[in-house]
Amino acid sequence: MRPIYFLTACAVGMIMTGCSECTKNTCTLYEGMEFADERMERGVKQAAALWTEEDGSAEDFRAFAEAHYARTEAERTALFESLSRMMERLNESADMLTVELLKPTQLTNAGEPTDIDWIMSGYDARAHLMDDLFANKIAFITILNFPFYTLEEKNALGSYWTRREWAEARLGDVFTSRVPAKVQANLTEAMANAENYIADYNICMDRLRTEDGRQLFPDGMKLLSHWNLRDELKVDYADQEKQEMIYQVMQRIVRQDIPQAVINNATPVWQPYSNTVQNGSSTREPDTRYQKILDVFHAMQKVDQYCPNMPTGIIRNFEGDIEMTAAEVDSLFREFLGSEQVATVAKEIRKRLGRELRPYDIWYDGFKARSGMDEEALSAETRKRFPSPLAYEKKIPAMLTALGFAKEDAEDIARHIVVEPARGSGHAWPCVGRNEPTRLRTRIAPEGMDYKGYNIAVHEMGHNVEEVISLYRIDYYMLHGIPNTGFTETSAFLFQARDLQLLGYGKQAMDREAVLDQFWGMYEIMGVSLVDMQMWQWLYAHPKATAAELREAVLRIAAEVWNKYYEPVLGEKDCVLLAIYSHMVNSPMYLPNYPIGHIVQFQLEQALADKEGRAWAEAYERWYRLGRLTPQQWMKEAVDGELSVEPVLKRIEF
């Protein structure tokens, strides 16, 4: 995972229509003007929609438009280059400040965070950027000369655009709404508070007891929800009693009947089945999980009123950031979840386990190449190789070379990656300017990196490599990045699927087992994503809901999705397990990016099937140098196709 990054004070997805509806006020601003061309007309109308009385009179607006429209190609090129350079420097400087301010709360080598550190973690260095750039008219100059194109227009015209025209269109995405600094800062603070809550949500597993008083987990084991709980469950298939206990813990967290005293606290002894506590209070957590979600929602509502043409966070997230409609994404996921192949794969898992499936088998991990390997032996090896973040950082060039990158390319990419010790589960922090590195944040125990941690670190490294290539090796800065976050998740999945190869265990191919593994992973995360999406739909339909009402709504939604797509193969009617993901709290509507990433990964893996070594690396780099096109245009240029679940469904044969 990598954090959601805001290009300016308002997310790129906060978009206006190509030519806004003419209101009395905006029409008056450009009444009587003669437009040099269609682009000027579009730019003038979009600029007028954001012009206020404080910016000047109608006469001022017309004079401004006439004076600042670049009429010649030379003027236009000079303006484009200046604005691109300015955007890079502004993004870069704001990001570097944010990184520094967040170090105490995100990294373990920065000392224990103080009260002021927690407060500063909610500071948004970009909050006033939008206000400033509208006040000095740079925003209006940009809109006037590089107007916005809708998603429909981008998909229709994109095949005919040059790279420069695509870059200009992305410059047109920057100033599409005018959110006051105070409103944007409020959203940033709410999200930071949610992130801090999640980053410190640990369960001391050695303090858990069965109903007859037995301790199942080793001394000192402390697992972060939900990531570490899920990963521990995956490796406990030799001990179903442990899996059942983790399942109980997860349900307690989702239902919010988990005792407050047992969260990140090694003193109380807790029996999750009966929910009783020794050496502490049994008082439950007071719906904090759902209050954090509400806080982000209410902050987002305040942003909504400044985005009249995309008036909800849902629309901005999907049509703006993901650049697919919510209906498209929902349909794609339901096509997969409702396929007959789900029952086919579930039958195979049931056969391998020799028992009826349980809800937590959505995380069945037996298809992976490592499933027949001794994880303790793998952990011993990774601890030896990676005793510290610096040790991992030093081995990145060799790992990239093992994947097929030329030695000089591997070294060049690696020098832009910094590895740091994370307080949370780990993430990749992207570079947004060519004077800063991308950061791989990972959790490493004092005795070194265990295999689970290594597997996650390789995933994050996949983000890092994409971030370096799609920035440092891109032709136009305004095209840096990927179509949406799902495409950087694709890169992370491509790397993560080759973690054993990087340890010297040979090439990991997309064979039958790998296809089944990817299929089951998609099955799990699509349901989780649907719950997240439906939660946000419910929030907008019930804007005055309390945390308790939201909790009950989420439990109902999770149960409904489960009953339709999961209960037929995994059992247990009304199970709420799909609501456990921490992303629902600290990363609004991020989850759909994962299944999108898996869908893209499968299509790319098919294209990589006959490629090894240098050919693999060259194909990878060609794809990620395409930059931030729309998803459908990127897929056309990468693999001559569109996003579809059909390829993976066709591969499920027995």
**pLDDT number for residue 2:** 57
Angle between helices 547-565 and 288-304 (to 10 degrees): 100
pLDDT digits (tens, 9 = 90+) for 95-126: 999 999 999 999 998 889 999 998 898 888 88
What confidence tens digit (pLDDT) does each residue in 122-176 have?
A: 888 887 888 999 999 999 999 999 999 999 999 999 999 999 999 999 999 999 8
Nearest to 103 by CA among 92, 93, 91, 111: 111
Q: Read out DSSP for 114-180?
A: -HHHHHHTT--TTTTHHHHHHHTSHHHHHHHHS----HHHHHHHGGG--HHHHHHHHHTTTSS----
Q: Which residue do the tokens 């017309």 mark?
A: 62
Burial letters for 123-160: b for 16+ Cβ neighbours within 10 Å, e otherwise?
ebbbbbbbbebbeebbbbbbbbbbbbbebeebbeebee
Is residue 613's pLDDT more than 70?
yes
The region that residue 640 occupies, defined by phi over 0 for left and psi between -120 and 50 for alpha, beta otherwise, is: left
Task: Encode pLDDT of 35-94 as tens digits.
Answer: 999 999 999 999 999 999 999 999 999 999 999 999 999 999 999 999 999 999 999 999
Query: Confidence band (pLDDT; 50, 70, 90) for 606?
Result: confident
Three-state SS sequence of 570-625: HCCCCCCHHHCCCHHHHCCCCCCHHHHHHHHHHHHHHHHCCCCHHHHHHHHHHHHC
pLDDT-above-70 percentage for the chain: 95
pTM, two decimals, is: 0.85
- The reported pLDDT for the residue numbered 25 is 63
Alpha-carbon gap, residue 633 to 161, rounded angstroms: 11
Handedness of CA 466, 471, 472, 473 (dihedral sign): positive
Read off the tokens for 189. 């603070």
Q: Hey, what amino acid is at 640? A: D
CB neighbours of 155 closer than 8 A, spacing ≥ 6? Answer: 630, 632, 633
Residue 503 amino acid letter: L
- Determine the Cα–Cα distance for residues 509 and 620; give it in Å rounded to an integer: 15
